[in-house]
Amino acid sequence: MTTEGEARTRTIPDRIRLTPTGWESPELKGMLVSASEIQSRVRELADEIQSQLPVDKPIVILPVLSGSFLFAADLVRHWRFACELDFIGLSSYGASTQPGLIDWTHKLKTDIKDKHVLVIDDILDTGQTLDEIRKELSKHHPTAIHTCVLLHKTLKTSGSTRFQADYTGFKIPDHFVVGYGLDFALKFRQLPFIGILSTNCHGTNAD
């Protein structure tokens, strides 16, 4: 589903910038999106979403663990309306930097029947994960499911899947990225920016 929010997406060029001082690592090739770019876009996204969703109706915000934890935390700090907030968890990168089978690590516990749902995820790659979430949540009869992702690897989804989120922070080129919640083997989640993993780390152990 594409909305006005999608049209406002920022596109990040395929240009690797220097890793900010203090964060350099042999496992990082460089920076793709800076901390200040993220913070200003998160603010914009929060405003866009609240101007388009029926905020006077019951709404449940569902961040997808674990990768979206920083993004969701920053986004909901700008949420001015009543909402319920719970978490769901899925993992698709069991042991590599290639997507694998989707595993529900934290199932839906909240009643979403006749409520609007806002799913917040870190990154849309093949679209498999958001597709699975939509299918599963639909079984619980919400009024509507809205989706928001920080990053969208547009090259991947222009092929077979064509899945889009309703709200996208940044369209990015096809690199394995880490930081701002996204990990490689549980590392780099704490970075305030989005970095690119060195190619010599690929294929070993990302979640």
Of these residues, 74, 121, 122, 125, which one is catalytic? Answer: 125
CB distance 17 to 32 below 8 Å: yes
Decide if 92 contacts 129 (C-beta within 8 A).
yes
Answer for which of 71, 87, 93, 170 binds ligand 5GP (CB under 6 A) is: 93
Give the residue with the Cβ less far from Mg ion, 67 or 179: 67
Write down the least CB distance from residue 132 to ligand 5GP, Å.
Answer: 8
For 197, other C-beta atoms within 10 Å of its C-beta total 24
The phi and psi torsions of 118 (rounded to 5 degrees) equal -115, 110
Region of 19-27, 51-59, 63-71, 195-203 interacting with Mg ion (CB under 5 A):
63-71
Closest alpha carbon to 180 in 195, 171, 193, 170? 193
As measured in angstroms, the least distance from the Cβ of 95 to ligand 5GP is 13
Cα–Cα distances in angstroms (integers) from residue 69 to residues 85, 88, 127, in the given order:
12, 11, 19
The one among 72, 124, 133, 201 contacting ligand 5GP by CB under 6 A: 124
| Residues near Mg ion (CB under 5 A), total | 1
Task: Report the nearest approach of Mg ion to the CB of residue 99 (Å).
Answer: 10
Please report, to the nearest 10 degrees, the dihedral formed by the alpha carbons of residues 76, 39, 124, 10 taken in order.
Answer: 130
67 binds Mg ion (CB under 5 A): yes
142 binds Mg ion (CB under 5 A): no
Q: Is 48 in the site for ligand 5GP (CB under 6 A)?
A: no
The answer to whether 53 touches 75, Cβ cutoff 8 Å, is no
- The reply to whether 207 belongs to the active site is no
Task: Tell how far CA 167 is from the center of its chain.
Answer: 10
Q: Which tokens belong to 52? A: 């388009």
Of 11-19, 81-89, 109-117, 177-185, which part binds ligand 5GP (CB under 6 A)? 177-185
- Active site amino acids: 125
Q: What residues make contact with Mg ion under the rule CB under 5 A?
A: 67
Q: What residues make contact with ligand 5GP under the rule CB under 6 A?
A: 67, 92-93, 99, 121-129, 176-178, 182-184, 206
